[in-house]
Amino acid sequence: MIRRTRYVASEAFPRSRRRRAADVAFRVGALAALAIVVAPVVWVMADVVARAIPHWRWSVLVTSTVGTGGGLENAILGTLVLLLGVLVLAGTVGILAGVYLAEFAGLGRSGKPRGRLLRAATEILSGVPSIALGLVGYLALVTGFHWGYSLLAALIVLSVMVIPYIARGTETALRQVPTSYREGAQALGMPAGYALRKVILRTAFPGIVTSLLIALAISGGETAPLLYTAGWFTGTPRASLLHQPIGYLTYPVWTFWDYPSNEAHYLAFDAALILLVIVLVLLVTARVIVNRTQRFAESRRP
Amino acid sequence: MANDGEHQATSRPIIGTTDSRSEERIDPILAALDPDRERPEHVICSQSLTLSFGQKRILDSITIEFRRGSITALIGPTGCGKTTFLRTLNRMNDKIPGFRYSGDVTLEGESIWGPSQDLLDLRRRVGMLFQRPNPFPMSIRDNVVAGVKAHRIAKGKQLDVLAEERLRQVGLWEAVKDRLNDSPFRLSGGQQQLLCLARALAVGPEVLLLDEPTSALDPISTEYIEQLLRQLTPALTLIIVTHNLGQARRISHNTMFLYEGELVEHGPTEDVFERSREERTQVYVTGRMG
């Protein structure tokens, strides 16, 4: 049976030398692409781990920075506070913007697409270099409003930077929700908001979580805007939004590498390692959340 | 209810009856017990309904009445406006760009576009079943009561009772009672469609619109669903779009034939199939035109 099928197939598409060459070329190309993506990941991770581990002290986690030495507790806590703030601020605004774009900005009564201004604005915003955002944040918030280096200024600049990603991710995820779900909800007479919460957002949840994750990873790894807005602080974060600088992990990575002391270099790599771990933990957490909530997803059909 | 039973008995098997309603004999006691006796005989009436999307006219002056407790088959070639007509009845077309209509559709004597008509309640009263089963991504039990929760018809323990009742009504209970918290997408296509039917029935509709409900299903499921639909009358009024002429003949009391947005012919199913007044109808029902 199999032989016969093969025979027929090869008759219809003779395995010419050209076809075989094309086949090999595609395989090699695909493997090369894979290597180009995987190699830097492995390289970066291996390098950071290899340089951080030999000098690793657990006390880094629980002591604060003193000059260019000491630990990174202040920076770790600062980064976590910043991530939480971005999650709340950018998450809220970004998801709402995405919901608006996907669900309510459809076609106006005149047939023209609404929400074009919002969509164009998010596109432009996602193209603005982060250092420019940082500078504007510094001029407007830190010196303009006299907020000084502060948590709020940093949060606002980081949020402005990642809101486009969240809005776009949410919009895309919502657009991928099958029409049949929407029609089913409509035909049952579900109020639009109820259907959105109970059926549509639930289906789009993995996409939204992914966009939040990317937003958090970007903000956690961002340096330029924070140099301008958060400043640097060697104490643990204070419960104050204004006039109080805050530490973060990318600062030692960026700054300490330039100091002529081994201790400063070690701290730079420790900070890089901790950042990597934070991002990995975020990834795993997001996966777990998505898996928990997608028990009933159509794509989960065995 | 009584006069519907009577109606079926007199109108369906006797060939040659032209106007079935004139033959009815109504038992006065049963008639008094009929909960619908005070209500108009026709649940839904379409009065010269003309509908277009932009410049394109889809439906052309459709006038038809749907009798309470009957099954009406809506037949016609692809693109003739069957689905559009069906979706107009629960106002699923309103939001489509360019939607315009003239004429009127009434539900229990009240215009479905009337100012006092609550859209959500209208859709509760006029349920719909789609061509492809579309359970929601939630557990089987939650699917059945999804509409009930949205309309706050019941809550708490009542929901479980209601879910069981509806699943039993569609004959799905035995198959799913041990996995009410499972994903509905593990069910077969036919079972998924039954689940959707249970979901639609749970909110207590008066009319059910069915858009080719069995065309994605296997013959056994199809036969089962047809049988189930017959059992839903005369409590419910059904309007079913179908490409399957055999199905139309098997289950419907009345048939309406649409052709290019025009209601060419309608009447008792047997008349439409056996004694079509219009040539186009005859050509279609005898299979000479797709």
pLDDT digits (tens, 9 = 90+) for B22-68: 445 667 777 777 777 777 788 999 999 999 998 899 999 999 999 99
CATH number at residue B281: 3.40.50.300
Domain count, chain B: 1
Structure tokens that stand for A148 in this block: 């000084």
Query: Residue B218 half-sphere exposure, CB side, CA atoms within 13 Å?
Result: 7
Residue matched to tokens 């259907």? A195
B137 touches chain A (CB under 8 A): yes
- Residue B150 or B22, more confident: B150
**Edge-to-edge order in the sheet of strand B71-75:** B110-111, B99-107, B42-53, B56-67, B262-268, B254-259, B71-75, B237-241, B207-211, B126-129
Q: What is the dihedral of CA B99, B105, B111, B115, to 10 degrees?
A: 0
Query: Does the structure show a pLDDT above 60 at A11?
Result: no
Confidence of residue A12 (pLDDT cuts 50, 70, 90): low
A176 touches chain B (CB under 8 A): no
- Contact B123/A185, CB-based, under 8 Å? no
Instruction: Specify if B70 maps to a domain.
Output: yes
Confidence of residue B12 (pLDDT cuts 50, 70, 90): very low
Query: Does the structure show a pLDDT above 50 at B19?
Result: no
Q: How far apart are CA A64 and CA B191, in angstroms?
A: 62
pLDDT at B38: 74
Going by C-alpha positions, the residue among B61, B109, B68 that lies closest to residue B85 is B61
Instruction: Specify if B29 maps to a domain.
Output: no
Instruction: Specify if B8 maps to a domain.
Output: no
Query: Does the structure show a pLDDT above 50 at A72?
Result: yes
- Contact A180/B134, CB-based, under 8 Å? yes
Please name the helix (run of DSSP H) or strand (run of DSSP E) that holds residue B74, with its range, or none: strand B71-75
Instruction: Specify if B65 maps to a domain.
Output: yes
Instruction: Specify if B263 maps to a domain.
Output: yes
Give the single-character DSSP code of B242: -
Instruction: Specify if B25 maps to a domain.
Output: no
Helix and strand tally (H, E) in chain B?
A: 13, 10
Residues in chain B within 8 Å Cβ distance of A301: 183, 185-186
Query: Does the structure show a pLDDT above 60 at B2?
Result: no
Confidence of residue B120 (pLDDT cuts 50, 70, 90): very high
From the CA of A100, how many Å to the nearest CA of chain B? 17
Residues in chain B within 8 Å Cβ distance of A193: none
Q: What are phi and psi of B122, to 5 degrees?
A: -60, -45
- Contact B134/A184, CB-based, under 8 Å? yes
Q: How far apart are CA A242 and CA B51, in angstroms?
A: 61
Confidence of residue A110 (pLDDT cuts 50, 70, 90): low
The three-state (H, E, C) secondary structure of A252-265, written as one string? HHHHHHHCCCHHHH
User: Once rounded to an integer, what is the mean pLDDT over residues A270-286?
Assistant: 93
* Interval A213-270: pLDDT, tens: 999 999 998 999 999 999 899 888 888 888 899 999 999 999 988 888 888 999 999 9
| Average pLDDT value over all residues in chain A | 88
- Residue A138 or B6, more confident: A138
Domain regions of chain A by residue span = 2-53, 59-299
Query: Does the structure show a pLDDT above 80 at B140?
Result: yes
Give the single-character DSSP code of B143: H
Confidence of residue B234 (pLDDT cuts 50, 70, 90): confident
B90 touches chain A (CB under 8 A): yes
pLDDT at B22: 44
- Residue A24 or B38, more confident: A24
Nearest to A199 among B136, B184, B185 (CB): B136
User: Once rounded to an integer, what is the mean pLDDT over residues A109-135?
Assistant: 83
* Interval A138-163: pLDDT, tens: 999 999 999 999 999 999 999 999 99
pLDDT at A299: 75
pLDDT at A106: 67
Query: Does the structure show a pLDDT above 50 at B9?
Result: no
A178 touches chain B (CB under 8 A): yes
Which of B117, B136, B183, B206 has the highest number of chain A CBs within 10 A, making it the mutation to test binding with A? B136
B138 touches chain A (CB under 8 A): yes
Query: Does the structure show a pLDDT above 90 at A60?
Result: no
Could you tell me which residues are beta bridge partners of residue B71? Answer: B238
Answer whether B81's CB lies under 8 Å from B49's CB. no
Structure tokens that stand for B193 in this block: 């469609």
| Average pLDDT value over all residues in chain B | 87
- Contact A187/B90, CB-based, under 8 Å? yes
pLDDT at B13: 39
Three-class secondary structure of residue B111 per DSSP: strand
Residues in chain A within 8 Å Cβ distance of B144: none
Q: How far apart are CA A140 and CA A259, in angstroms?
A: 31
User: Once rounded to an integer, what is the mean pLDDT over residues B243-253?
Assistant: 92
Q: What is the dihedral of CA A173, A176, A179, A183, to 10 degrees?
A: -10
- Tell me how far apart the 2 most distant CA atoms of chain A are, in Å: 81
Integer-rounded Cα radius of gyration of chain A: 25
A127 touches chain B (CB under 8 A): no
Nearest to A188 among B132, B137, B150 (CB): B150
* Interval B167-207: pLDDT, tens: 999 999 999 989 999 999 999 999 999 999 999 999 999 99
pLDDT at A166: 95
> Domain A59-299 sits in which CATH superfamily?
MetI-like (1.10.3720.10)
Instruction: Specify if B163 maps to a domain.
Output: no
Burial, A112: exposed, middle or buried (Cβ in 10 Å; 0-12, 13-18, 19+)?
Answer: exposed
User: Once rounded to an integer, what is the mean pLDDT over residues B111-137?
Assistant: 93
Three-class secondary structure of residue B141 per DSSP: helix
| β pairing state of B99-107 and B42-53 | antiparallel
pTM for this one? 0.80
Instruction: Specify if B215 maps to a domain.
Output: yes
DSSP annotation string for chain A: -HHHHHHHHHHHS---HHHHHHHHHHHHHHHHHHHHHHHHHHHHHHHHHHHHGGG--GGGGTS-EETTEE--HHHHHHHHHHHHHHHHHHHHHHHHHHHIIIIISSB-TTS-BS-HHHHHHHHHHHHS-HHHHHHHHIIIIIIIS---S-HHHHHHHHHHHHHHHHHHHHHHHHHTS-HHHHHHHHHTT--HHHHIIIIIHHHHHHHHHHHHHHHHHHHHH--HHHHHHT---SSPPPS-SSS-----THHHHHHGGGSS-HHHHHHHHHHHHHHHHHHHHHHHHHHHHHHHHTTT-GGG--
Confidence of residue B10 (pLDDT cuts 50, 70, 90): very low
For residue B139, the chain A residue with the least C-alpha distance is A296
Classify the phi-psi angles of B104: left when phi > 0, otherwise alpha if psi is within -120 to 50, otherwise beta: beta
Structure tokens that stand for B259 in this block: 């052709």
- Contact B196/A181, CB-based, under 8 Å? no
Structure tokens that stand for B246 in this block: 């055999």
Query: Does the structure show a pLDDT above 50 at B116?
Result: yes
Q: How far apart are CA B23 and CA B18, in angstroms?
A: 10
Put simply, the chain B residues between 160 and 179 with a CB less than 8 A from any chain A CB are none
Cα–Cα–Cα angle for B216, B222, B225, rounded to 5 degrees = 115
Classify the phi-psi angles of B16: left when phi > 0, otherwise alpha if psi is within -120 to 50, otherwise beta: left
Q: Which domain holds residue B116?
A: 39-132+209-285
Structure tokens that stand for B32 in this block: 């008094």
Q: How far apart are CA A291 and CA B144, in angstroms?
A: 23
